[in-house]
Amino acid sequence: MKGLLIKDILIMRNQKSTSLLIVLMGVMMSIYMQSSAVIGYLMMIGGMLSLSTISYDEHENGLRYLFSLPVTRKEYVKEKYLFCIAWVIICMICGSLVCYLIMVFKKQVDTTELFATALTMFCVILVILAVSIYARIRYGSEKSRIIIYIFFGGISLIGFVLSKFISAEEVMAIERFVSTNAVTLMVILPIAAAIIYLISYLVSARYMEKKEF
């Protein structure tokens, strides 16, 4: 697995110019918009960049060659899940640091908002990665894009439809519930996201064991 991690780190290193541009764009967004916006932005882009390493592996039947080496299919899947979550954590730390510095610059330091944003976005990105990694492994780069668009488009549509039927009073009631149970939710959300991520890994590993190349 060490060799797989080194391979993916080298792939990401080749995208350092793109990563630097993304960080600069995130900083500009945070200066002119809400300071905490950089956290979610960097985590989302970081997650998608780490996910792109699967596409590199699949290029020109690369997986067939990869599995001819002393690498098991289960190790490959495990490495992908570990690498993606590790990269997102790095992006979360970098984004939180940038956010804090910008808050200091604006003299609007709010560590509660920073922590809540970082944790919430981490849970959201974890679920997105759980779905995306499985789709990439199961259906490949091209088909998985369509499936992911349909999945998250469906969620957005459900949210839009529900928003039309929820009254202002119900929205306020939900906000009061969230604020009242903020600590409990900050514990439940990461656990739920971790369980979804683990289930995704187990299903992906099981499918990869049976996949033919």
Rounded distance between C-alpha atoms, residue 129 and residue 50, angstroms:
10
pLDDT, tens digit, 9 for 90 and up, residues 57-102 = 777 676 777 777 787 888 889 999 999 999 899 888 988 888 888 8
- Tokens representing 149 are 């668009």
pLDDT at 81: 93
**Better-predicted residue by pLDDT, 212 or 56:** 56
- Tokens representing 181 are 């149970």
pLDDT at 213: 62
Range of the domain at 22: 2-210
Rounded distance between C-alpha atoms, residue 164 and residue 48, angstroms:
31
Please check the confidence at residue 163 and state whether its pLDDT lies above 80: no
Please check the confidence at residue 112 and state whether its pLDDT lies above 90: no
Q: pTM (2 decimals)?
A: 0.82
pLDDT at 202: 94
- Tokens representing 199 are 């289930």
Which amino acid would we find at residue 82?
L
**Which residue has tokens 């091209």?**
142
Please check the confidence at residue 47 and state whether its pLDDT lies above 90: no
Rounded distance between C-alpha atoms, residue 15 and residue 27, angstroms:
19
Residues 6+ apart with CB under 8 A from 132: 47, 51, 144, 148
Q: Which of 60, 66, 48 has the alpha carbon at shortest distance from 1?
A: 66
pLDDT at 46: 84
Residues 6+ apart with CB under 8 A from 84: 47, 50, 51, 129, 133
**What is the count of structural domains for the chain?**
1
- Tokens representing 3 are 């060799």
| Residue 48 burial (CB count, 10 A) | 14
Is 47:81 a contact under the CB 8 Å cutoff? no
pLDDT, tens digit, 9 for 90 and up, residues 118-135 = 888 899 899 989 998 998
Percent of the chain surpassing pLDDT 70: 87
pLDDT, tens digit, 9 for 90 and up, residues 17-32 = 777 777 777 677 666 6
pLDDT at 148: 76
